[in-house]
Amino acid sequence: MLSYNLGSGENRNWVIAETEFNSSLLGKCETIMALGNGYMGVRSSTEESYVKQTRNLFVAGTFNRFDQTEPSELPNTADVTALEINLNGEQFSLDKGTIHRYYRYLHLKTGELVRVVDWESPKKERFELTFRRFISLKNLHLIGMRVDIKPLSEKANIQVTSGINGQMTNSGAQHFHEGEKRIFDKKFLQLIQTTTETNIDFVINATHRLKMNHEEIDLSPQMSLGRRRVDLQYSATVAKDKTYTVEKLSTVHTSRDSQIDSRSYDLEELRKLSLDGIQKARAVGYEQLFEESKSEWLKYWNQVDIQINSENEIDQLAVRFASYHLLIMTPHHDSRFGIGAKGLTGEGYKGHSFWDSEIFILPYFLYTKPEIARSLLEYRYHTIDGARKKAKDNGYDGAMYPWESAFTGEEETPLWAAVNILTGKATKVWSGIIEQHITADIAFAVWNYYTATQDVDFMNKYGSEILFETATFWASRVEWDDGKEQYIITDVVGPDEYKEHVDNNAFTNYLAHWTIQTAIRHYDECKTNRKNVFERLNDKLSLEEKYKKWKQAVDHIYLPVPRESDNLIPQDDTYLSKPIIDITKYKTDSAVQTILQDFSREQVIDMQVSKQADVVMLLYLLGDRFSDYVKKVNLDYYESRTIHDSSLSMAVHSIVAANVGDVKDAYEYFTKASLIDLGENMESSDAGVHAASLGGIWKAVVFGFAGIKLTSEVLMIKPNLPEQWNSITIPIYWRGDRLTVELTLNSIMIRNETGNNPSLPIEFNGTRFSLQDVIELRKVGKGI
Ligand code: BGC
């Protein structure tokens, strides 16, 4: 059972907890309480084992393919979190005996996971066990664990077996060779395993420190090496009411780590470096290592924490929960890697990156830590050759980004997925073949980054090339239609994946057009102002020739405009003529995609039923092109046809609703988005967190309710706060300054905290102001 009220005083709204244990519903807390630091992520499985648990340790960017018929995935690395605890001959397991007290919580502020159990064994002996765990934000390779065990009835013989277990699989797929196991000085365990296809070495170390009543003790362990595993077993006799402590420190290194130069790589050196690291960590110990990590967390919160004073406290917690996970999912240390759709918290989507990264997650970093936004876009640059190959293989020019991307930028979308209820066969997944809007979404993110940061260096090195190559793709992708006398785009899947093989998906057409238009503008700017860059890219990409093609296409791309009769923007050529069905049942179901239990995908394709925001997504991304009236009409229409079967959907509806002043609805969508992972459905997050939706929660607050937008010239603000909120304080990083935006229902205060810019242009409801230190704007009455 989940509880969000455990934190009090300064811990209020920082703590997510469970207060009851249920061994058949473990997935939720394993996921939402997962730990990580962007380098690696570990699901918060309990130390003792249960049949229904899923132990995962993923290291960003270490993809491997089990065999040629399967996509690359992040391999489930050897586990270090399991501890087998034997208490006076009884295996510690909450499935037996009596639980007198139980709670477990993740402290979002410090990144520590704590579990307290008062357990009576079947032999009627009572023990108090306190487990603690963190993954360091300071030393990205380090995992710290600690268990304190106190016999409450009588003295006890306690055995703890702990090691490194390389028997892990990804739902049965084993990605590693057997490897090498070793114990050094009876203290340091080491397992070295290599991935089967990509030959990445993983070096995992573990060590223990033992204490009796807080005094260090030295016990000689029993050692064992098994198949793909290495363990130590410590036995101790512990007096009643005394505390026996086992600290376990583990490290993970791989040959894909950023500091490793692949040309001079030597496994022996990596082994030594990692052993050296674990020895140093051992000397420091859990407490101090945790404090070091905690202080990194505090620095982070200082930069990103949004404070919401709301009638519903979950609003505050939800935004912090989002910020917590957005950091631990993001490989901010290495621009060669992207963000998985489930972060590093589960096997879902195999660690692949989707448009989720650019459209849903990147804006968070752009407004709080732009250097990370840059790193995420560099990832797309590092994978551009894969995108070029995809374009070529499909008969197009330029770069065609994969719908699902891993390490190389080649297409990784699986070809087959869930059952077709009519045939009993697997349904074909078309996204990897025809969901092409991602190629525009990436260009869109590049440009947004550039406009907000004016990072010319980024554009010179990476961004311009991405923009030009994606425009070239679209110019080769559009098809001339003799009837319309325009370029059209046929046979795609738009954001709404319940429609396949559609022509002129509005979102795709508009974004393709936008990409070409923006590339033309940027080309002109480069040619005039950045001659060297222009020359280099012209040589590499034959830009002058490509430019002609962009110019030829740009003004003739068919853009479905709002219909004169009803102002509806057709989602595609046929959507509005399809039959309408009552979707209430599916909208209100706590499980997603239940419509596919009643209809096959082919049947759903022929109905006015949307999986997720599609036209509404367009209204959000290219909001300036549509009037509020058009937005309202389309939001109403498509909302009633959208099941929100993708977690990406609800937050987008919230933003558009807030922007047009439908704050009540916006708040309702926001609340639903907040509960996608935090809600009561104990199975909703089994495969991992919904990464994009977490970005969406932050966006709904900042872009929706606060109405903040950074353009190349100005920070615009047009708030529409829900009546449940008394005030909100938002930190924003812009042009080298940290700003604080404080909003109430009838006032705005913007403060420049760092003062690097003597003045910054702010636009409030259409009027320009200049921010020196502080601006305070007030309007009495309802709303600003
Ligand atoms: C959604 C996509 C999304 C993907 C990964 C799918 O269910 O329809 O829009 O990119 O999940 O989150």
- CB-based contact 658:707 (threshold 8 Å): yes
Distance in Å, CA 462 to ligand 1 centroid: 26
Ligand 1 contacts CB of residue 498 (under 6 A):
no
Residue 687 gets which letter from DSSP?
Answer: T
From the alpha carbon of 690, which atom of ligand 1 is closest?
A: 12
From the alpha carbon of 645, which atom of ligand 1 is closest?
A: 7
Q: How far apart are CA 141 and CA 280, in angstroms?
A: 13
Q: How far apart are CA 631 and CA 621, in angstroms?
A: 12
Distance in Å, CA 498 to ligand 1 centroid: 11
- CB-based contact 232:163 (threshold 8 Å): yes
From the alpha carbon of 349, which atom of ligand 1 is closest?
A: 5
Report pLDDT digits (tens) over 644-690.
Answer: 999 999 999 999 999 999 999 999 999 999 999 999 999 999 999 99
Ligand 1 contacts CB of residue 358 (under 6 A):
no
Q: How far apart are CA 725 and CA 357, in angstroms?
A: 29
Q: How far apart are CA 783 and CA 716, in angstroms?
A: 17
Report pLDDT digits (tens) over 210-234.
Answer: 999 999 999 999 999 999 999 999 9
CA 551 to chain centre: 37
Ligand 1 contacts CB of residue 405 (under 6 A):
no
- Residue 779 has a pLDDT of 62
Judged against a pLDDT cut of 50, whether residue 453 lies above it is answered with yes
Ligand 1 contacts CB of residue 341 (under 6 A):
yes
How confident is residue 782, by pLDDT bands cut at 50, 70 and 90?
A: very low
How confident is residue 530, by pLDDT bands cut at 50, 70 and 90?
A: very high
Judged against a pLDDT cut of 70, whether residue 482 lies above it is answered with yes
Q: How far apart are CA 209 and CA 249, in angstroms?
A: 8
Report pLDDT digits (tens) over 331-390.
Answer: 999 999 999 999 999 999 999 999 999 999 999 999 999 999 999 999 999 999 999 999
Give SS3 for 703: helix
Overall average pLDDT of the 87-92 stretch: 97
Distance in Å, CA 381 to ligand 1 centroid: 22
pLDDT above 90 as % of the chain: 95
How confident is residue 711, by pLDDT bands cut at 50, 70 and 90?
A: confident
- Residue 418 has a pLDDT of 87
Which of 160, 125, 203, 189 shows the shortest CA–CA distance to 47?
A: 160
390 Cβ contact partners less than 8 Å away, ≥ 6 residues apart = 399, 400, 401, 402, 409, 410, 411
Tokens of 646: 């993708």
Q: How far apart are CA 412 and CA 402, in angstroms?
A: 7
- Whole-number Cα distances in Å, 631 to 6, 266, 304, 308: 41, 58, 31, 27
- The residue type at 703: F
From the alpha carbon of 691, which atom of ligand 1 is closest?
A: 12
Dihedral sign for Cα 491, 362, 593, 667, please: negative
Distance in Å, CA 562 to ligand 1 centroid: 26
From the alpha carbon of 497, which atom of ligand 1 is closest?
A: 8
Tokens of 188: 């340091």
Q: What are phi and psi of 340, to 5 degrees?
A: -80, 155
Which of 627, 616, 108, 633 shows the shortest CA–CA distance to 327?
A: 108
Distance in Å, CA 632 to ligand 1 centroid: 25
Dihedral sign for Cα 663, 664, 669, 675, please: positive
Closest C-alpha to ligand 1, atom 8:
646
- The residue type at 484: K
Q: How far apart are CA 143 and CA 668, in angstroms?
A: 39
571 Cβ contact partners less than 8 Å away, ≥ 6 residues apart = 494, 496, 499, 502, 505, 506, 507, 610, 614, 615, 638
Ligand 1 contacts CB of residue 361 (under 6 A):
no
**Considering just the CA atoms, what is the radius of gyration of the chain in Å?**
27
Q: How far apart are CA 228 and CA 180, in angstroms?
A: 8
Report pLDDT digits (tens) over 590-622.
Answer: 899 999 999 999 999 999 999 999 999 999 999
Element housing 110 (H / E):
none
Overall average pLDDT of the 519-536 stretch: 97
Closest C-alpha to ligand 1, atom 6:
646
Ligand 1 contacts CB of residue 693 (under 6 A):
no
H, E, C per residue of 353-415 = ECHHHHHHHHHHHHHHCHHHHHHHHHHHHHCHHHHHHHHHHCCCCCCCCCCCECCCCCCCCCC
Number of Cβ atoms within 10 Å of the Cβ of 752: 20
- Residue 781 has a pLDDT of 42
Distance in Å, CA 646 to ligand 1 centroid: 6
- Whole-number Cα distances in Å, 757 to 130, 249, 289, 712, 736: 50, 45, 37, 15, 8
Ligand 1 contacts CB of residue 507 (under 6 A):
no
Q: How far apart are CA 412 and CA 436, in angstroms?
A: 14
State which of 403, 434, 642, 646 you would mutate to test the pocket of ligand 1, scoring each by most atoms of that ligand within 8 A of its C-beta: 646
- CB-based contact 571:506 (threshold 8 Å): yes
Tokens of 246: 């086992």
Q: What are phi and psi of 535, to 5 degrees?
A: -60, -45
How confident is residue 780, by pLDDT bands cut at 50, 70 and 90?
A: very low
Report pLDDT digits (tens) over 534-584.
Answer: 999 999 999 999 999 999 999 999 999 999 999 999 999 999 999 999 999
CA 715 to chain centre: 26
- Whole-number Cα distances in Å, 157 to 59, 149, 247, 464: 37, 11, 18, 66
What DSSP string runs through 604-623? HHTSS-BSS-SHHHHHHHTG
Which of 380, 423, 381, 387 shows the shortest CA–CA distance to 603?
A: 423
Number of Cβ atoms within 10 Å of the Cβ of 427: 16
464 Cβ contact partners less than 8 Å away, ≥ 6 residues apart = 522, 526, 533, 537
Report pLDDT digits (tens) over 394-410.
Answer: 999 999 999 999 999 99
Tokens of 505: 């998906």
Closest C-alpha to ligand 1, atom 12:
341
Which single residue is written with the structure tokens 């560099």?
A: 378
Report pLDDT digits (tens) over 113-137.
Answer: 999 999 999 999 999 999 999 999 9
Average pLDDT over the chain reads 96
Strand order in the sheet with 57-59: 35-36, 40-42, 57-59
Ligand 1 contacts CB of residue 112 (under 6 A):
no
210 Cβ contact partners less than 8 Å away, ≥ 6 residues apart = 216, 217, 218, 219, 234, 236, 244, 245, 246, 247
Which of 658, 660, 665 shows the shortest CA–CA distance to 703?
A: 658
- The residue type at 775: I
- Residue 361 has a pLDDT of 98
For residue 768, with 0-12 CB atoms within 10 Å meaning exposed, 13-18 middle and 19 or more buried, which class applies? exposed
For residue 416, with 0-12 CB atoms within 10 Å meaning exposed, 13-18 middle and 19 or more buried, which class applies? exposed
Distance in Å, CA 695 to ligand 1 centroid: 13
- Whole-number Cα distances in Å, 36 to 14, 113, 589: 17, 11, 32
- CB-based contact 380:442 (threshold 8 Å): yes
Element housing 175 (H / E):
none
Closest C-alpha to ligand 1, atom 5:
341
- CB-based contact 732:715 (threshold 8 Å): yes
Report pLDDT digits (tens) over 39-83.
Answer: 999 999 999 999 999 999 999 999 999 999 999 999 999 999 999
489 Cβ contact partners less than 8 Å away, ≥ 6 residues apart = 477, 478, 479, 503, 504, 505, 508, 509, 512, 557, 558
Catalytic residue IDs: 497
